Amino acid sequence: MKNKVIITTVIITTLLFSSTPIVANPGGNGDNDRDFTCGGSCHGDPSLSVDSDGIISIEIKEFVYAGTTTEIVVKIDEVTTSNERIVGIFLLGSINGNNDQPADYGWEIIQDENGGTSNYIEKRASINGSVHASWIIRSPTNPGTYNLFASIQHGIDPNPKGLAALGVSEKHEIEILPIPENYPSLSEDWIIPEYREIDGDGTITILTENTDNIEVNWKLSGELNSNIAEIQEIGIGEWRVFLPKTIGDSKIEFQITIFNGNFSVEQPWMEIGTENERFEGSSIGARLQALSYAIIIFGFVLSMQSWLVSTDFSDYFSKVRSKSHESENNDSQRMIFHEKYPGWLWDSVEEKWVPDIVESEIRSED
């Protein structure tokens, strides 16, 4: 019995923690901040990948003022993927394989294509093998020439060795110019919220610098026509913007235009949703929870089996039979038959004569 318990426990634990022994990661890794090689886990090692056939290009303004926001678009065309069509896209400051995130070179990601602030995101390519991704970033505060790279990783089909395809763009040089005096910009302290709580009033607060007025246009994702949002100035460089709430995963795209004298700076389109805060968990936590439930159920079954085996029901049945015999004996002693009065029985408890039902039934049958 003890050996069976140990063997069963080992089998359950093995099933819960086992994973498919392949190099690639079907279904993706999830958005995150990652270096080019991800410490060897994202197929940056040539032994873990093959060359991608995707054509990668980067689009950004020819020059950018220091410390201001701009949009970077990465385009991938003619890429051959697996059936899942998931493509992981990196925005990088170098391809050294270590400390090569944009933040390591002074860039700050304000928002990525999926609404977060990661330099690595995952998107699904179209059937014809195209996928685009954009980042809204704040440029380094020190003027100079900076480099940006884009890299992709994705599955291929067929893929007997379980390897991922890896591609890297050409170096893209960006000139960062000194910012003009009194140039309006978004504040470095402002972080675009990913979503608004469903119970709130739907407003967001925008922080700006060197700004005497702002204008915000909004539209639902996928629409062409935009609307002008209501704005309330609540302090120097602090603005409350009223945006309609959305339902579920729907999001609103909005564009901020900031003004100061003769300067008028149009910011990239950003997006925001309205939803409850998501639950965040890990696969290890889920597996541990599943294991704990399995142990509880397994322990309950064992305890029931142990109780059923150890319980001696023979004593119980013997006691039942004994009580049954006692009841029959008591009934026979209670009813007394007298030869002088056939058809009647004397009830010694109630002290009265009662009909002998058995004898009456026999007579009626005769």
Domains in the chain: ranges and CATH: 31-177 (2.60.40.150), 185-274 (2.60.40.10), 312-365 (no CATH)
**pLDDT surpasses 80 at 260:** yes
Residues 287-294 have a mean pLDDT of: 79
pLDDT exceeds cutoff 70 at 10:
no
pLDDT in tens, 165-180: 899 999 999 999 999 8
pLDDT of residue 131: 94
Mean pLDDT of the chain: 80
Q: What is the pLDDT of residue 59?
A: 93
- Of the listed ranges 189-193, 254-258, 323-327, the least confidently predicted one is 323-327
Find the mean pLDDT for residues 180-206: 83
Burial of residue 300 (CB within 10 Å: 0-12, 13-18, 19+) is: exposed
CA–CA separation, 113 and 93 (whole Å) = 18
Span 41-46, average pLDDT = 52
Q: Give me the pLDDT at residue 45, please.
A: 56
pLDDT of residue 89: 93
